[in-house]
Structure 1
Amino acid sequence: MGIVRLKLLAIETSTSICSVALIQNGLILASKGEQVEFGHSTPLAEMTKNVLEDADTDIAQLDAIGVSIGPGSLTGLRIGLAFGKGICSAATIPIVAIPTLSGLIHNIPEGGVFIRPIVRAKKGQYHTALFEYNSETYMEIEPHQIISSDFLNKEIIGRTVLIGETFTTSESDSLSKMYELYGDENSPIAEGIARLGEKMFSKGETSNSAELEPDYKMEFKAKKWNREQSGDAVMI
C-alpha cells in the first residue's frame, strides 16, 4: 500500500497579516502572506485561489481545513472561520481549530531559542505566551496572558524570537534591541498554522464545524453565532 498523502489548507487571519498555506506530509507546497488594512475578506479569497493554483491543487483535493481560532483580531477571526467553514461545507471535509499562539511558534525552524508569539488585543494590549524550542519540541514556559506594550521592553531570559504582529519602524527599532523579529509585513505565517494543523489532524483532532466559534480570550462574554441565508457569519 502506498503512502497516504493528505493535504491541509491553513488560514491565518488573527493578526494584521492575512496568510494562507497548503501543506502535505510536512512539506509546505505553497503559501502567501499580506498585511491588510481594510479587512481580511478580499485578500483571503484571492490568496487562497493563488495558493491552490501555485500548488496545482483544487478544493476537491483537500482533506481538511485548518483555521487559526484565536486569540486575535475579533473581525479577522470571524472572517477566517466563516471562510474556512464555507470551504469545508463545499468540499465536505473536516475543520481543524488551531490555537493561534501555538500555531505561530511552528514558523520557527531552529531550536535553542525562546519564542514569544504576539497578537494585538485592544487598547494597546497584546495576547502573548512564552515557549522554548529544543530538539523539535515546544514547551510552554509562560501561559497565555494579555500584556501592555511596556511589558515587551522588560528584561528577557535569553535569545528570544518575537513573532506575529508587524510593528512601526520606531517600535521595531526598539524591540530589535532585545528580540529577534521574525519576518516582515508579507510573511506567510500561516505556514506555522499549517504545521500544527497537520499534526492535530493526524491525531484526529477535528472540530464540529457547525458549533465552532473563535476563541477570543477576552474579558467579555462571547456572543453566539448566527448564519444568515447568504452564508455570511455575523454577530448578534
Structure 2
Amino acid sequence: MFVLGIEAATPVAAVAVVAEGKILAERMVNNRRTHSVNLLPMVRDTLSDAAINKEQLSGIAVSSGPGSFTGLRIGMSTARTLAQVLSLPLADVPTLDALAYPLSGHAGLVCPILNARKNEVYAALYNNTSTGQECLVPARATGLPELLKLLEGFKERVTFIGDGVAEYGGLLKAQMGSNACLAPICASFPRGAAVAELGLRLLQAGKACDPLTLLPHYIRESEAEIKWRERCRTNG
C-alpha cells in the first residue's frame, strides 16, 4: 500500500511516499515560490524517486491545518483534485499531529507551536505513552502568556517543536527554565513523511474522508472574514 503525503500548511512544502514500515521518497523546499508552483512538480518527482507511478498509489494524505490559510487551501485543493482524478481515498491529517509525530518515541510532553502571527501561535499538547501519542490539549490559536499558564498546570518538562520555536524559544526558556526543551531547526516544519505515515494508518483503519467535502481546519477566521463581518456589522 503506497500513500502520498502532502504538506503545505507552513512556508515549507513537503511531499513523500510511504509504504508499510518504509519511507520510499521525500522532498521538501523552503523557497520564495508559492506552493501552487512547487507542489505538483514535487509530487511528480517524488513518485519518480520512489520508482512508482500514480496508478500504484493506494491513497493520499494531506495536512489539514491549522497553518497558513493560503498554504492550506493550496495543499487541500491539490490533494482533493488528485484523489478525485485517481479515484483514491483521502486521509485528513491535522498539521500539529504531523509535527509532533516524529517525537512520539520520546518520553514526556510535546508541544508543537506554529507562528500564527498577531502575537499568537497555533499550539497543541501531546503526551507520549508506551502505546503512542495522546492529545491532551487540542489545537488552538493562543497568545504565549495563555499557553504558558496552561502548561504550568502540568508541571512537567515540555519539548517545543515547530517554526514558533525560532520566534518564541527564548521567552519559553526564560519563563520555564529547564522545563522547556527546544527542538532543533531540522524539526521546525511538518514532514511530508509524517503526514503520509499518519494517513496510511487512518486509511488502514477505514477513516477516509470525502474529497468533495473535506475542508481545511483554520481554527480562527481569516483577515478577510474578520473585515467582512465588521463591514456587515457597520452597514447593518
**Which bracket does the TM-score occupy, shorter chain normalised?**
0.7 to 0.9
Equivalence for 1:199: 201
Counterpart-to-counterpart distance in 2, 1:57 and 1:15: 27
Counterpart position of 1:40: 35
The answer to whether residue 76 in structure 2 is matched with residue 81 in structure 1 is yes
Deviations 1:35-93 (A, max 9, x none): 24442122222322222111101111111110111111100000001111221122111
Write out per-residue CA displacement over residues 147-199 of structure 1, whole angstroms, 9 at most, x where no aligned residue.
2245566776434322232655x755665773231443886612221221111
* The structure with more radius of gyration: 2
Among residues 78, 99, 123, which one is paired with 1:128 in the alignment? 123
Within 1, Cα distance between the matches of 2:139 and 2:224?
18
Deviates more, 1:102-111 or 1:174-183: 174-183
Which structure's residues are more often helix, by fraction?
2
Pick aligned residue for 2:181 from 156, 179, 195: 179
Aligned 8 A contact 1:17 1:186 in 2: no
SS at match of 2:186: coil
What residue in structure 2 maps to residue 139 of structure 1? 134
1:71 aligned counterpart, secondary structure: coil
CA contact (8 A) 2:11 2:30 kept: yes
Counterpart residue number, 1:117: 112
How far does residue 204 in structure 1 lie from its aligned partner after superposition?
Answer: 0.9
Cα deviations by residue, 1:209-236 (Å, 9 ceiling, x for unpaired): 111111111146998xxxxxxxxxxxxx
User: Distance in 2 between the 1:187 and 1:15 partners?
Assistant: 7
Residue among 151, 156, 159 paired with 1:158: 156
**Conservation of the 8 A alpha-carbon contact between 2:115 and 2:163:** yes
Q: How has the CA–CA distance of structure 1 residues 70 and 39 changed in structure 2, closer, same or farther, with 3 Å as cutoff?
A: same
In the superposition, relative to structure 1, how do residues 166 and 220 fare at CA in structure 2: closer, same or farther (>3 Å)? closer
Counterpart of 2:47?
52
Q: The residue matched to 2:118 in structure 1 has which SS? A: coil
| Contact kept? 1:96, 1:197, Cα under 8 Å | yes
Task: Tell me, yes or no, if the aligned pair for 2:159 and 2:181 is still in contact at 8 Å.
Answer: yes
Q: Counterpart in 2 of 1:232?
A: none
Say how many residue pairs are matched: 217
Cα separation, partners in 2 of 1:141 and 1:19, compared to 1, 3 Å: same
Check if 1:13 corresponds to 2:16: no
- Give the conservation status (yes or no) of the 8 Å contact 1:66–1:97: yes
Equivalence for 2:234: none
TM-score by length of 1: 0.79
Structure 2 length as normaliser, TM-score?
0.79
CA RMSD across the alignment:
2.8
**C-alpha separation between the residues in 1 aligned to 2:77 and 2:97?**
21
Q: Structure 1 residues 214, 188: CA separation in 2 closer, same or farther (over 3 Å shift)?
A: closer
Question: Which region of structure 1 is more displaced relative to structure 2, 22-31 or 106-115?
Answer: 106-115
Q: Distance in 1 between matches of 2:169 and 2:190?
A: 19
Instruction: Report the residue type matching 1:11 in the other structure.
Output: I
Unmatched runs of 5 consecutive residues or more in structure 2: 226-236
Mapped to 1, the partners of 2:223 and 2:168 lie a distance apart of: 32
**Percent same amino acid among aligned pairs?**
28
Matched position secondary structure for 2:64: strand
Match of 1:190 in 2: 192
- Using a 3 Å threshold, how does the CA distance of structure 1 residues 73 and 82 change in structure 2: closer, same or farther? same
TM-aligned CA distance change 1:207 to 1:188, over 3 Å: closer
